[in-house]
Amino acid sequence: MANHTQFGFQDASSPIMEELMEFHDHALMVALAICCLVLYLLTLMLTEKLSSNTVDAQEVELVWTILPAIVLIMLALPSLQILYMMDEIDEPDLTLKAIGHQWYWTYEYTDFKDLSFDSYMLPTTDLPLGHFRLLEVDHRIVVPMESHIRVIVTADDVLHSWAIPSLGVKTDAIPGRLNQTSFITTRPGIFYGQCSEICGANHSFMPIVVESTPLTYFENWSSLLSS
């Protein structure tokens, strides 16, 4: 999760988030190169006397027409690749349904006969020592590590948004509509998120907690809850 005075992204815990962070760094370097070039040209124009050849040079016009097109292609190609990767959902290992309410989440493991629960934020008075205030819940989502997880997101009342930054997931929950997303956790751990759509007075109190565990632990957990 994020730390105090942190300016960058959270540590990536899924392949999609790793790709997004690489694209962010790539776009930032392109923007830095453009800023340096423009600053150099401005300094050159202010300090040097322009000749008639410089003003009328068609070669310069050709360069500053083609160069932006090349830059846009350098940004568009990796961006489209990541966009298609985020929309690709092919034969998931586990399907999870997330239903947003005011102001809690309901989760259903659709691959199991009877495995569903509500997830409420833990009040500060009931918070165990060492847990995070306003982020911990009474029932966590437990998923197997290194498995393709599909999440079907909807809402029961108003607009919500199911978002976990470290997994690169953010999907709107709309009443009467099913949206879907997917993720793969690359390591065991606990990942925190929150509702990212203003949904009423207690919008800030709808945390999301995903616990990534080895497959054997997940099987024991699911059999215990479904029994």
Q: Which domains does the chain have, with CATH numbers?
A: 15-87 (1.10.287.90), 94-225 (2.60.40.420)
Span 191-197, average pLDDT: 92
pLDDT of 121 strictly over 90: yes
pLDDT tier, 51 (very low <50, low <70, confident <90, very high otherwise): low
pLDDT > 70: what percent of the chain? Answer: 96
Q: In the predicted model, what is the mean pLDDT of residues 81-95?
A: 87
Q: Which amino acid is at 61?
A: E
- C-alpha 49/C-alpha 46 separation (Å) is 8
The pLDDT, as a whole number, for residue 175 is 93
**Quick one: tokens of 177?**
């509509």
Cα–Cα distance, 79 to 23 (Å, whole number): 7
What does the mean pLDDT of the chain come to? 89
Return the percentage of the chain with pLDDT > 90, whole number. 57
Side-chain-side CA neighbours of 1 within 13 Å: the count stands at 19
Higher pLDDT, 209 or 126: 209
In this predicted structure, the answer to whether residue 60 has a pLDDT above a threshold of 80 is: no
141-144 and 207-213 beta bridge pairing: parallel
